[in-house]
Structures are given as structure tokens and as C-alpha cells.
Structure 1
Amino acid sequence: MTKTLAKKITFDEFNIQYLNGEGRYELHDGIVVEMPKPKGQHSIITGFLMEELILTMIEMGQRGKWTIPRESIIKSSNGKSGYEPDIIVLDQNAIATESRWASESIIEKAESVKLIVEVVSTNWRDDYFKKRADYEELGITEYWIVDYATFGGRNFLGNPKEPTLSVYQLIEGEYQVQQFRGNDKIISPTFPTLNKTANQIFRANQD
């Protein structure tokens, strides 16, 4: 479960007080949220996906052009929130124009981001509602929600619920979603040569 600290603060106050210390924190509409440390299958899936995306980047000829940093913070367009995605793919040429990247690892421009991936935990509402809305408003072109353990609600995962990977693509300023389950092959606008099914991702390193 996430833990919230009730006093509202600004993004810059959050950056100074929380981003340079221990622990993992995000800012949600001015409220500091202590994020759970990824464990078990969550960590395995995140690592597996990161490896597959890097291999696909190399196959696509994007080595040295795109990168997956260890840490970064996405600042929302209204300046009230800051998120640390499980995986983010950045355009190295674009981040050169980010004034806060070199010194603070802060991303403020959608043009810098090729893909964001969130692997769902018990705080699933953040991924499906808040982050999805803020990434859409900022203009992030592609956003994945990987719900391997069916944490999300039935309106997202079906009834009965099934593990689901949702790919949100920004089209005319709004997200359109495709969902993948079981042996469905993942279709990604940014990574068209990614040759993986939903189950291969959900069962990372188990087969």
C-alpha cells in the first residue's frame, strides 16, 4: 500500500526534500506519496520488459538515440505532480533541450518521451486514472499499463478479471487503448518489431 503525507507542497519543494534521499516518492496534486518498493514478480517483469525493449531498440537502429534511464521524474503539465515510472524510454536528442535533466533527472516535455510503462501494484487507481490522465494531458504518445496480477477493476480487466496489458496511444490529443491478454501479440506503435505476447511478459523468466 502507498503511504501519503498530508501537507501539500510545491513540485520544487518536493524535489529538494524527497528526491535526493532514500526511499521512493511521488507527488500527486501536491501530496507526497511514499511508493512501495517493487518486489517479486513486479521486479522480474519490469526487468524483463526493460531488457526486451533495449534489444528491440538495438534491432530498430535506435541504439545511442533512445535510452532507458535508471531514474527520472515526469513533471505534470500543471506542475502539481511528479511521477517516477517503472520504465521510461527517452529520446537522447530531445532531452538535451530539457533544462532540468542534467542536474535533476526531471522531464517536462512530452517530446522527450517515447514510451512510459507502469507495472501495476496495489495502488492501481493511480496508474489507470491519475497517471493516465496526466500523461495524456502532457502529450505522452504511448503509455503501457501492465496488470499481471489483476489488481485493476473489472471495467479495465473484464469479468472475470484477466491479466491485461493495455497500450494507450495518443491520437488527436486523446488516448485510444488496445488491450492484450493471453497469447495476444503486443502491438506497439513505438516498438513495432517487439515480438512478445502478453503471457510471455506476464510469465517473465518462468518458462
Structure 2
Amino acid sequence: MTQTLRKLVTFDEFITWYPDNPQRLYELHDGVVVEMPSPTGDHEEVISFLMLEIAAEIRRLKFPYIIPKTAFVKPLEGESAYSPDVLILNQPNLVNEPLWKKASTVSQAESIPLVIEVVSTNWRDDYLKKAADYEAVGIPEYWIVDYAALGGRRFIGNPKQPTISVYSLVDWEYQVQQFRNNERIISQTFPELNLTVEQIFQSFA
């Protein structure tokens, strides 16, 4: 993870600066523009598998959700903007998002039923910073998909093993439940989703 601008910038400056056709993805972390690590093939296959499975569930249940290709989640406090690997948006609420039309950016919990981050080398951002900020926004559910067991032992245990951590908002605080191997993922957003950890992690085998 490398910083691409040295000076602190505001969210508006970040959006104005952001390349029209970027070869790399960027996020804003407390006023610092951060270049995201280059994705691996395994990383992209996991994302693709999850998007297809969730899209099928959205269609089956006729939920009013969309999965944007590129969009930002901006906490109301501070100068940060994150581009999740998978972002589920509640389309009817987007009319209430002042930054959606001009900057494909959302800030309201009512717009964001689920966020998924697939862990790469910047795992601390997923487990520490983003978890705290998504919790502050009030996003009901947040998955951390750690297929390569990159996260710290305090997050995924010792010995480390591939883990999916599902953070669910309870009384405005995240409670985490972890799933491994053949365990079926329990999701409050998609309670009928029939998907095991092994199915996800075999998507790139």
C-alpha cells in the first residue's frame, strides 16, 4: 500500500483528482490518498463468485438492491472514502444520498445493507480501520473474506486459517461471528443464502 499524494486532501479534492479511467484503485484514508494493492487472480475470482451468488439471491428474492461496479462509502465524520470489493446498495434510498449522482458515493446506513472486503496485503485496514468506520456509519453487516489467512492472529486465531468474519450491528456495535471450512455463512441481510466457506474458497481452486 503506497501513498500517492503527500499532502492531506478533502473528500471533494479527492473526487476532483480521481482519474477518469484509473489503472489502479484509490481510497481516501483520513485525508491521505492511498493506492490499493494490485489484485491477484485469486482475489478477483473470489470477488466475482460472491457477486454472482449474491446477485442471484437478490434476483430470487426480488430485493431492491444493486451492486455497483465502483462506488465509495464515505463516513460522515472525517475525510475518508472507501471502495469496497463488494457493495450492496438499497436502490430506493439513493435519492436521499446527496453525493450519489455526482460522485457515486453513499454515507447513509439505509443505503448500505452489506459491505464485503476481500483481504489482501493491507489487511489491517479491513480488520481495524474499515470495521470501525463501517460500524460508525451504521452499516448493518460487514464481511471480511480472508481466503489466504493474511489477517493477524488476534483476528483469525492461532494457527491462522482461512476465515470469513461476519460483523453484524447489534445495539450500534459490531458483533462478529466467524466461519471456516464447510460451515454455512449466516447472514442477516440474506438469511436464506446457502453458501459455505469452502464453496467460496474453492472458487479459485
TM bucket (normalised to shorter chain) is over 0.9
1:148 matches 2:147: yes
Match of 2:15 in 1: 15
Q: Deviations over 1:77-134 (max 9, x none)?
A: 2131000000000001011211221221011211100100000000000000000000
One-letter amino acid of the structure 2 residue matched with residue 199 of structure 1: E
CA RMSD of aligned residues (A): 1.1
Code of the aligned partner of 1:174: E
8 Å CA contact retained: 1:188, 1:194 = yes
Please name the residue that 1:77 is paired with. 76
Q: 1:11, 1:80 within 8 Å by CA — same for their partners in 2? A: yes
Give the distance between the partners of 2:6 and 2:125, measured in 1 at CA: 17
Inter-partner Cα distance in structure 1 for 2:109 and 2:19: 21
Give matches, 1:93-132, under 5 Å: 93-132=92-131
Between the aligned partners of 2:20 and 2:12, the Cα distance in structure 1 is 12
Matched residue, 1:29: 30
Contact 2:72 2:84 in 1 (8 A): yes
2:42 corresponds to which residue? 41
Kindly provide the amino acid, as one letter, of the partner of residue 80 in structure 2.
Answer: S
Quick check: 1:90–1:112 contact (8 Å CA) kept in 2?
yes
**Normalization by structure 2: what TM-score?**
0.96
Q: Partner letter of residue 204 of structure 1?
A: S
The answer for the alignment partner of 2:60 in structure 1 is 59
Q: Number of residues paired by the alignment?
A: 203
Q: Which residue of 1 aligns with 2:161?
A: 162
> After the TM superposition, which parts of structure 1 deviate over 2 Å for at least 4 consecutive aligned residues?
none
8 Å Cα contact 2:149/2:156 also seen in 1 = yes
Q: How far apart are 1:191 and its partner, in Å?
A: 0.7
For 1:145, the aligned partner's letter is I
Question: What is the aligned-residue identity percentage?
Answer: 52
**Amino acid of the residue matched to residue 48 of structure 1?**
F
* Separation in 2, partners of 1:205, 1:56: 21
Over 3 Å counting, the alpha-carbon distance change for 1:130 and 1:19 in structure 2 is farther
**Distance in 2 of aligned mates of 1:126 and 1:15:** 21
Normalising to structure 1: TM-score of the pair? 0.95
Residue 195 (structure 1) aligns with: 194
Gaps of 5+ in 1: none
Instruction: Measure the CA separation in 2 of the matches of 1:167 and 1:20.
Output: 33
2:20 and 2:30 map into 1 onto residues whose CA distance is: 20
